[in-house]
């Protein structure tokens, strides 16, 4: 069986600005991911384990400051 490897992945808004970036393994979100608003401020960040949200997730307000931290139960 071939060893799976992680690769960087970036998604873009229609205007070309970065919408999300993180890691993929075998086509699934895996590792740290960040989502951004069109103006570039961070909207949300957290970790995935083969497509499942895990650990601490942070939501940011419109100024990019921490609004809420959620612990995802595994």
Q: Which domain holds residue 32?
A: 7-72
How open is the CA angle 27-57-70, to the nearest 5 degrees?
140
CA dihedral 17, 23, 26, 29 (to 10 degrees): -80
Mean of all residue pLDDT scores within the chain: 94
Q: Name the pLDDT band for 1 (thresholds 50, 70, 90).
A: low
What was the pLDDT predicted at 47? 97
Residue 2 lies in a domain: no
Is 56:70 a contact under the CB 8 Å cutoff?
yes
The residues, any chain, with a CB within 8 Å of residue 31's CB and separated by 6 or more, are: 6, 22, 23, 25, 47, 48
Domain-embedded: residue 16 = yes
| Reported pTM | 0.89
Share of the chain above pLDDT 90, in %: 89
Q: How many domains does the chain have?
A: 1
């Amino acid at each position: 069986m071939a060893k799976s490897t992680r690769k960087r992945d970036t998604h873009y808004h229609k205007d070309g600005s970065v919408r999300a970036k993180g890691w993929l393994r075998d086509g699934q979100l895996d590792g740290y991911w960040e989502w951004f608003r069109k103006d570039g401020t961070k909207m949300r960040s957290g970790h995935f384990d083969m497509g499942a949200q895990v650990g601490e997730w942070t939501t940011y307000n419109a100024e990019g400051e921490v609004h809420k931290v959620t612990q995802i139960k595994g």
